[in-house]
Amino acid sequence: MSTAVLTIDDIATNNTPALVDYLVEKGIRVLMFAWGENVEKHPENAIYALQHGMIIGNHSYTHPNFAEISFEEGIAEIEKTESILDDIYKKAGVERKYRPFRFPYGSKGGENKEKYEQYLRDHGFSKLDDRAISYPWWKETGLDKDIDTLWTFDFAEYQIRPGSGFTMEDVFKRVHDTNPGSGGVLLEEGSNHIILMHDHEETLAMVPDYYKIMIEHIMENGVTFKEPEFI
Ligand SMILES: [Zn+2]
């Protein structure tokens, strides 16, 4: 058996309420990372997620690669989204206890990485509790010190696109991979994970119910979900 916190990126979409309903039905509380721009397009769907117990963190405003923009542009992306999130928490009538942040594409800002970490530390951002992650590389690469939220397992289902050749079979191969090129072995006995999944309408158009298929598959294979907690 392995244990995991589920994180879902790129909300909000037209499908967010259906996704939330499914998570509620399964009793899974997740950490969602929102684009500020997408929340402005679908505020009611982000509010729906909050009112159903999901936590929403900051995933920038327009989802740029932070290694390719200036530090000032990056901070503007973060701050604009912070105020949008403050606003929807308020509209949802839910207290905002945590302020997690995830860089788009897992890019930590290139040469500005340490400046971003310092900024997040100084501005009250929340670190997802990663103390149960026992992979040596997690500590060796300093991920245990970083405030932003990376992941240990990526379904890579966003690669299912017209013409990509990547299918749900490839997603399952990743789930069962015992020697992955990056990240941890999801189904390794006793392992702890931060799992990355996305709320993408493009994927839904290719594979209806893709998130149900993936979540059910890993639950059947011994993954138990735990609530996101912060340190
Ligand atoms: Zn993203």
Q: What pLDDT digit, counting tens, does each position of 72-108 carry?
A: 999 999 999 999 999 999 999 999 999 999 999 999 9
Q: Token pair for residue 119?
A: 């900024």
d(CA 208, CA 216): 14
Query: Tens digit of pLDDT for each residue in 69-80?
Result: 999 999 999 999
Query: Tens digit of pLDDT for each residue in 110-126?
Result: 999 999 999 999 999 99
Contact 72, 87 (CB under 8 A): no
Q: Is residue 230 part of a domain?
A: no
For the chain, the average pLDDT equals: 97
Q: Is residue 80 part of a domain?
A: yes
CA distances from 188 to 132, 135, 139, 198 (A): 14, 11, 19, 23
Query: Tens digit of pLDDT for each residue in 200-214?
Result: 999 999 999 999 999
Expressed in angstroms and rounded, the spacing between residue 60 Cα and the centre of ligand 1 is 9
Q: Which CATH number do you get for residue 6?
A: 3.20.20.370
What are the DSSP E strand ranges found in 65-172? 153-154
Q: Is residue 137 part of a domain?
A: yes
Place of tokens 């990485």: 113
Residue ranges making up the domain that contains 20: 2-225
Residues 6+ apart with CB under 8 A from 203: 157, 158, 160, 210
Q: Token pair for residue 218?
A: 């890993």
The three-class DSSP label of residue 109 is coil
What are the DSSP E strand ranges found in the chain? 2-11, 31-34, 55-58, 153-154, 192-198, 223-225
Q: Is residue 19 part of a domain?
A: yes
Expressed in angstroms and rounded, the spacing between residue 202 Cα and the centre of ligand 1 is 14
Expressed in angstroms and rounded, the spacing between residue 104 Cα and the centre of ligand 1 is 5
Expressed in angstroms and rounded, the spacing between residue 189 Cα and the centre of ligand 1 is 29
Expressed in angstroms and rounded, the spacing between residue 121 Cα and the centre of ligand 1 is 21
Expressed in angstroms and rounded, the spacing between residue 139 Cα and the centre of ligand 1 is 24
pLDDT, residue 156, reads: 97
pLDDT, residue 134, reads: 92
Q: Token pair for residue 174?
A: 């990743």
Per the structure, how many domains does the chain have?
1
Expressed in angstroms and rounded, the spacing between residue 90 Cα and the centre of ligand 1 is 24
Place of tokens 């897992």: 106
What is the model's pTM?
Answer: 0.97
Banded model confidence at residue 182, pLDDT cuts 50, 70, 90: confident
Expressed in angstroms and rounded, the spacing between residue 101 Cα and the centre of ligand 1 is 11
Expressed in angstroms and rounded, the spacing between residue 157 Cα and the centre of ligand 1 is 12
d(CA 118, CA 203): 35
Q: How many helices (H) and strands (E) does the chain have?
A: 9, 6
Q: Is residue 165 part of a domain?
A: yes
Q: What are phi and psi of 39, to 5 degrees?
A: -70, -35
